[in-house]
Amino acid sequence: MAADYLTRSIDKALLEWKDSPRRKPLLVRGARQVGKSSTVRHLGKCFKHFIEVNFEKTPELAELFKGNRDVKDITRKLSDYFNVPVTPGKTLLFLDEIQKSEDVIHSLWFFKEDYPELHVIAAGSLLEFALKDLSSFGVGRVSSLFVYPMSFDEFLMATGDDGLLATKRECGPDNPLPTPFYNRITERFRSFMLTGGMPEAVATYAETGSYRYSSDVVNEIIQGYQDDFAKYGAKANPTLLRRTLISIARQTGGKFVCNRVEGDYRSAEVKNAIRMLCDAGLIIPAYHTDANGVPLGAEINERVVKYLILDSGILLGILGIDDDTDEIVKEMMLESSTDLVDKGSVSEMIAGLELIKYSSPQKRHQLYYWQNMNKGTCAEVDYVIAKGNEIVPIEVKSGVKGSMNSMYSLMNNQQKHISRGIRCSLENFGSFMSPANKRIDIIPLYAVSKIFE
């Protein structure tokens, strides 16, 4: 893995938190191995002093917090232990893997009340499980930032394609990419699809240029996730969790069906496994919505849901695509070959993940899709988003062609009041008019960030 830090979009949000006069203790949240600790350590370079307490590596330090609500006394003891000064405004205190101790979690309340001038950040890979047991935790006292695997823009920065990224940002539906840049960026996007956005895998690919080595890293991460299953709590069944994760990978792009999980499990057991995988950040739900108005979440059907694996590299690893990596790479990198991309709906999944990655990190965002639920119909639009008070449908195509009938069906529904749509594909930027004379912008898969500009 390359030694240099890979720039992340979350860096800007962390700097804003650092300089905010209304700053609260901060929770950095996300799945294991998405880069939470690395981003905090990078922020630590902006301070004169930095203390990192990892309660997984040094669990004995949790004793300093047990029954002690005097956070100034706690920080004095940590200062002595690490031999690092604690000076408000000059020291960043990083409490990592705090799910190991409820006392440490509770201490964040008192940092806000009794020591607000000190910069305090906390994180934990399985933190959501602990927070669920503390339903009122941190209301008004703690802020959160959500971290995900790297976006395509971050991937371009990591691979040294800053010029390509800058050119892409200057383009849009009315100003497409010049052909040489278009050819180059589609090639890089295919590399991103294979590598995924897990920081260590991206760093390995950036350093070696080898999908084989980045795939090895991804497999190690997947094994780490499976090892974590035993830590999910008394109700966790590691075998069921593993089989559910595999089934979700196989059902990517379609409504999830519980009875397709291998083994003789009841629906309630599978649903419990799904909740745990969601809490761990390994899967992300996309709910069906009627899309009649904003907010989209007011009309969801929780029984009709798709699940996205948190990263394309992880998805391909779970599906065993790395077993024949050289041939897979050759097929996926061929411009005319979209069959492999279609399989498993990788493009649709990546588009959804990119929508989340470019959204504000200050809150957990939800994904929605639309499907005509009337009998005998099959119209389905991959995603619908809200832009202000306007609903915008997004149709994802893996290549440069594909039917738009589902999009037209939704846009033509007079009750929806939809005036425009977005087509995400491997095409260049552009636009066209629907048969009903409504504009559809082509925002390529490699430029989902444009949707939020």
pLDDT digits (tens, 9 = 90+) for 31-85: 999 999 999 999 999 999 999 999 999 999 999 999 899 999 999 999 999 999 9
Band (404; pLDDT cuts 50, 70, 90): confident
**CA distance linking residue 89 with residue 18, whole number of Å:** 9
- The DSSP letter of residue 98 is G
- For the chain, the average pLDDT equals 90
Domain ranges of the chain: 23-146, 152-452
Instruction: Please write the tens of the pLDDT for every residue from 166-180.
Output: 999 999 999 999 999
Per-residue model confidence (pLDDT) at position 221 = 97
Q: Is 166 left (phi over 0), alpha (psi -120 to 50) or beta?
A: alpha
CATH level 3 topology of 23-146: Rossmann fold (3.40.50)
CB 36 within 8 A of CB 123: yes
pLDDT of res. 378: 76
| Closest to 271 in 3D by CA, of 249, 248, 250, 287 | 248
pLDDT value of residue 290: 87
CA distance 36 to 30: 7
In this structure, of 57-66, 93-102, 116-125, 127-136, the range with the lowest mean pLDDT score is 127-136
**Strands (DSSP E) along 124-278, which ranges?**
143-146
Residue 181 predicted with pLDDT over 70: yes
Using CA atoms, how far residue 347 sits from 81, 115, 243, 425, in Å, is: 49, 47, 23, 8
Question: Which of 148, 48, 63, 34 is CA-nearest to residue 93?
Answer: 48
pLDDT confidence band for 3 (50 / 70 / 90): low
Q: What percent of the chain has pLDDT over 90?
A: 72
For residue 325, name the pLDDT band (cuts at 50, 70, 90). very low
Does 385 score more than 90 pLDDT? Answer: yes
User: Mean of the pLDDT values across residues 428-437?
Assistant: 93
| pLDDT for position 379 | 82
- Decide if pLDDT at 337 tops 60: no
What phi and psi values does residue 180 have, to the nearest 5 degrees?
Answer: -60, -40
Please tell me the distance from the alpha carbon of residue 246 to that of residue 250, in angstroms, as a whole number.
6
Q: Is the pLDDT of residue 324 over 80?
A: no
pLDDT of residue 342: 45
DSSP state of 428: P
Sheet of 283-289: strands edge to edge?
Answer: 300-309, 283-289, 367-371, 380-381
Structure tokens at 280: 């761990």
The residues near 184 (Cβ < 8 Å, ≥ 6 apart) are 164
Q: What is the pLDDT of residue 1?
A: 38
Inter-CA distances, 223 with 218, 219, 229, 242, Å: 9, 6, 10, 10
Q: How far apart are CA 348 and CA 252, in angstroms?
A: 9
As to burial, measured by CB atoms within 10 angstroms (0-12 exposed, 13-18 middle, 19+ buried), residue 304 is middle
Q: Which of 419, 385, 417, 422 is nearest to 404 (CA)?
A: 422
Helices (H), 358-438: 405-411
CA 449 to chain centroid: 14
Least confident of 26-35, 56-65, 232-241: 232-241
Averaged pLDDT, 190-200: 95
Contact 248, 212 (CB under 8 A): no
pLDDT (average), residues 8-17: 97
pLDDT digits over 279-312, tens only? 999 999 999 988 888 888 887 878 889 999 999 9
| C-alpha distance from residue 24 to each of 17, 46, 193, 199 (Å) | 8, 18, 37, 27
In 211-322, where do the E strands start and end? 283-289, 300-309
- Considering only the C-alpha atoms of the chain, give the largest distance between any 2 of them, rounded to a whole number of Å: 71
The whole-number pLDDT of residue 138 equals 61
Taking the CA atoms of residue 212, residue 218, residue 223 and residue 226 in that order, the dihedral angle to the nearest 10 degrees is: -150
Tell me the per-residue pLDDT of 133-161, one tens digit each, with 9 for 90 and over. Answer: 776 666 678 999 999 999 999 999 999 99
Q: Given the structure tokens 């990592």, which residue do they identify?
A: 96
Contact between 202 and 313 under an 8 Å Cβ cutoff? The reply is no
Q: Is the pLDDT of residue 416 over 90?
A: no
pLDDT in tens, 208-218: 999 999 999 99
